[in-house]
Structure 1
Amino acid sequence: MKSSIETLFLVIPGLFSAGAFAVEEDFWDRSYQQCFQSADVVVEGRVIGYEKVGYNGNEKFGYSHYLISIEVLKSIKGFEGSNLKYHVWYEGKKHDIEGNSLFCLCANDKGEYGDPEGFGRLSLGTSYQSYLAKRAAGKIKPIDEQGKYYVPYCGA
């Protein structure tokens, strides 16, 4: 039979990990909601090519500018078509750009798309699937545009 001290050592880590999981889940729910709520264009897509346009910086610090081509697998908001290109700036010189993602992009008056902060590419994994299920069930509320968690993807 386990003592109450042994039981306590088994229960406490579980409580902390459940709390950490809830915080992480809240983070991803907010990230996906921020995308859906404030990006001009939201698509599920697959990178089919990219071109490094340039690098602005020195040996220690700088940003790489890419023009990324994606095949649109599912258009969610603001875009109709099968392919699009967008501009992105990532810190550093080399990047892994391949794969499928949720793309949260901004449109400009020239008809170009961009991810100005470099955070507009989110996973299509389990956190996304969980977010979609909660959204469909009405458990995701819009982020308060005056609140501390609102950081618009695109400028006004």
Structure 2
Amino acid sequence: MGGASQSNCEPLSNGLLLKGFLIEENGGFVSCRSPVLEPPLDLSPFKGIEVKIDGYGRTLKFAISCKTQFMNFMPDFYDRIKWVAEFKTQKNGTSIIRLPFEKFQPTIRTRPVTSNMDFRVNHVNQFQLLYSKFGMAGKANESFLQGPIQILLRCLSAYI
């Protein structure tokens, strides 16, 4: 997934491999999404998400979708919101990154959502790993490079 870019996710014995080819024009991103989780996960007992990843010095984004029954008045709007955190990886080896829930920001695509809303970590229904030409709030990702890409997601967990 990624506009004009091409990518796929391949499960391996040591993790999930996101690989593909990035094209900056008409998109400029690759990503891998989990299936929609039904029933949603309740991550409220945890402080955040821990990612163990071989990212080769890239700045990546991790997104969480939260479907909630409480947003009946504008369900299409809330279904498009992703809670996103950005993180930098080491050039060599595995990076272990802790992303506290309070660092996640509501966005629709690359645009921040300024409405006052709560991150409902008790209703998590999808995860997404992204590498994009855009950083947070639509700013440029300084680590972005076109061409072939491989990122190995070794482990994803919630931490206390």
TM over 0.5: no
- Choose 1 or 2 for highest CA Rg: 1
**Richer in strand (by share):** 2
Q: Which structure shows the bigger proportion of residues in helix conformation? A: 1
Query: TM-score, normalization: structure 2?
Result: 0.23
Q: Which has the higher contact order (CA 8 A, sep 6+)?
A: 2
